[in-house]
Structure 1
Amino acid sequence: MAALAACTALVAGCGNETAPDWAYPELGKTLRSLSRDLDEACGRTETPESCAQDLDRLTAPTERAFAQVLDHRLLDVATVAAMNALDRAREVRVAAAREARSRQDPHHLPLARAVAAEKRAYQNLLAELERLRTAPPPGDGTDPV
């Protein structure tokens, strides 16, 4: 009788209502902060050069978010591709900024294009990270016993 009661209690405790929290609240907070910083970067009156400086300030929070994704083992191919695209966009922007400085032109068109491309790459990465954060992990223990 005691074994039956223990099994019943175990089965009752393993339903969906006791599922682990897989929403990763710390990662969510980091992504919201990064999204807000990205929205505030590159105002309409800013030059591409000052916008590039705004984007440089996003490097540390982006790396923190990516580290949290790695800590939770959420990484997938699409996220790696988005991070690689951001790295390539940053490299292009840095080269364009060097060229703009050498020409002493803060409104250099290739720099403006590179800044816009990097900002889109940040938005794509944020979307991928948010998708990972909100998708339930496989085998998360929510199936009834």
Structure 2
Amino acid sequence: MLVDEIQRWGVAMFNAPASAHALESCEAKLGHSLPDQFRLLLSATDGVEGEYGLGLVWTAQRIADDNVGFRSSADFRELYMPFDGLVFFADAGNGDQFAISLMGSQEIYVWNHENDSRTWVAPTVMRYLENRMTGALEV
């Protein structure tokens, strides 16, 4: 169902669904559960690539690895506000990263790596995908 909906918005390539083990491993490395809708998306496809190989949603493994790296980097702790309330899941191709908030309604933000701003971009991960694939979201 989710994959069918995403395909309506444009060109996308889907991986096999993330296994229960992959999702549990990701959550264990992060130290918390993934947001429900995001977990559902990964259980339908472990990552989404858009046109020209654009990584719209990373795999569960990359999500775990990149977030652990961001949260544990001494350099990042000195340069940026904490990342604990976010789960990064995609990049914009320019160094900026997309993240889902662990607070409230789990909205999507883009983190600017140059000035550490976090700007709201979508109310849900599905709206993020729709906007990114249709060109309504530009970074």
- TM-score relative to the length of structure 2: 0.27
Look at both structures and tell me which one has the larger radius of gyration over its CA atoms.
1
- Structure with bigger strand share is 2
- TM-score relative to the length of structure 1: 0.27
Between the two structures, name the one with larger relative contact order (CA 8 Å, sep ≥ 6).
Answer: 1
